Chain A
Amino acid sequence: MNLKAKKLVEYMAMLVIWLGLVLLFGLMSHNFLSERTFVTLANRIPALTVVAAGMTLVLIIGGIDLSVGSVLGLCGAVVGLALVNFHLPFWAAILLGLGVGLGAGTLNGLVSVGFGIPSFIVSLGMLEIARGLAYLTTNSQTKYIGGAVEGLSTPVAGLAVSPAFLIAVLVVVAGQVVLSRTVFGRYLIAIGTNEQAVRLAGINPKPVKIAVFALLGLLTGLGGVFYTSRLGSSDPNAGVGLELSAIAAVVIGGTSLMGGRGSVVNTFFGVLIIATLEAGLAQVGASEPTKRVITGVVIVGAVILDAWRHHLTGKKFMLLKQLFSRPPSSKSTP
Chain B
Amino acid sequence: MANAGPLHQSEVRSSAFTRSGTPPEGLTPNPASGPLLQVTRLQKSYNVPVLVDFSFALERGEVHALVGSNGAGKSTFARILSGLTDRDGGDIQLEGRPYNPGSKREAEHAGVIMVLQELNVIGTMSIAENIFLNRLPRRGGFLRFVGLHNEARQALSRVGLGGVDPSTPAGFLGVGQQQLVEIAGALSQNCRLLILDEPTAALTDPEIEQLFENIRQLQKEGVGIIYVSHRMDEIRRIADRITVMRDGRVVATHQAGDVTPAELVREMVGHDLPERKKSVVERPVGEVALRVRNLRAGDQVRDVSFELRRGEILGIAGLIGSGRTETLRAIFGADAKDGGEILVGEQPVVIRSPADALRAGIGLVPEDRKQDGLLLPQPIRVNTTLSTIARHANAGGWLDTRAETKTTESFCGRLQVQCTSHEQTIGELSGGNQQKVVIARWLARDCRILLFDEPTRGIDVAAKHTIYQLLHDLAAEGKAVMVVSSELVELMALCDRLLVMSQGRITAEFTPDEWTQEKITQAAFSGYLDQKESAIAT
Contacts and interface: CB of A to CB of B under 8 A. Distances in A.
B399 to A, nearest CB: 6
A322 B399 CA distance: 43
B382 interface: yes
A183 B374 contact: no
A2 B86 contact: no
Given A190-B382, A332-B40, A332-B41, A199 B354 contact: yes
Interface of B: 40-41, 84-91, 98, 100, 332, 334, 353-355, 357-358, 363-364, 366, 371-379, 382, 386-387, 389-390, 393, 396-399, 421, 423, 441, 445
Contact of A182 (B40, B41, B358, B399): B399
Contact of A198 (B366, B386, B399): B386
B422 to A, nearest CB: 10
Given A183-B390, A202-B355, A204-B355, A328 B86 contact: yes
Contacts of A200: 332, 334, 354, 364, 366, 372-373
A189 B374 CA distance: 13
A314 interface: yes
A204 to B, nearest CB: 5
Chain B contact residues, majority secondary structure: mixed
A30 interface: no
A309 interface: no
Contact of B399 (A186, A315, A328): A186
Contacts of B441: 201
B375 A190 contact: yes
A40 interface: no
Contacts of B393: 182-183
A332 B90 contact: yes
Interface of A: 2-3, 181-187, 189-190, 193-194, 196-204, 260-261, 314-315, 318, 327-329, 331-333
15 contacts: A186-B389, A189-B382, A190-B375, A196-B372, A197-B386, A201-B354, A202-B355, A202-B363, A202-B445, A260-B375, A329-B100, A331-B88, A331-B89, A331-B90, A333-B40
Contact of A332 (B91, B371, B372, B386): B91
Contacts of B389: 183, 186-187, 203
B33 to A, nearest CB: 22
A198 B358 CA distance: 13
Contact of A3 (B371, B387, B423): B423
A327 B102 CA distance: 11
A328 B89 contact: yes
A183 B399 CA distance: 6
Contact of B86 (A3, A182, A190, A318): A318
Nearest to A260: B377
A194 B84 CA distance: 23
Contacts of B377: 193, 260-261
Contacts of B353: 199, 204
Nearest to A198: B386
A204 B357 CA distance: 11
A185 B390 CA distance: 12
A44 to B, nearest CB: 34
A197 B399 contact: no
B375 A197 contact: yes
B85 A315 contact: yes
Contacts of B363: 202
Contacts of B445: 202
Contacts of B86: 314-315, 318, 328
Shortest 4 CB-CB contacts between residues of A and residues of B: A202-B358, A332-B91, A193-B375, A331-B89
A2 B91 CA distance: 36
Nearest to B364: A200
Contacts of B398: 181-183
A2 B423 contact: yes
B399 A190 contact: no
Contacts of B379: 3
A181 B366 contact: no
Given A202-B358, A261-B377, 13 more contacts: A3-B379, A3-B423, A182-B396, A193-B375, A194-B376, A197-B372, A197-B373, A200-B366, A202-B363, A202-B445, A328-B88, A333-B40, A333-B41
Residue of B90, B357, B421 with highest tally of chain A CB at under 10 A: B90
A193 B382 CA distance: 12
A187 B386 CA distance: 9
Contacts of A190: 375, 378, 382, 386
Contacts of A186: 382, 389, 399
A181 B89 contact: no
Contacts of A182: 393, 396-399
Contacts of A329: 91, 98, 100
A3 B421 CA distance: 12
Contacts of B396: 182
Nearest to A316: B86
Nearest to B99: A329
Contacts of A184: 397
Contacts of B358: 202
Nearest to A184: B397
Contacts of B364: 200
Nearest to B396: A182
B355 to A, nearest CB: 5
A318 B100 CA distance: 13
Nearest to B90: A332
Contacts of A185: 399
Nearest to B359: A202
Contacts of B355: 202-204
Contact of B386 (A2, A201, A315, A318): A201
Contacts of A193: 375-378
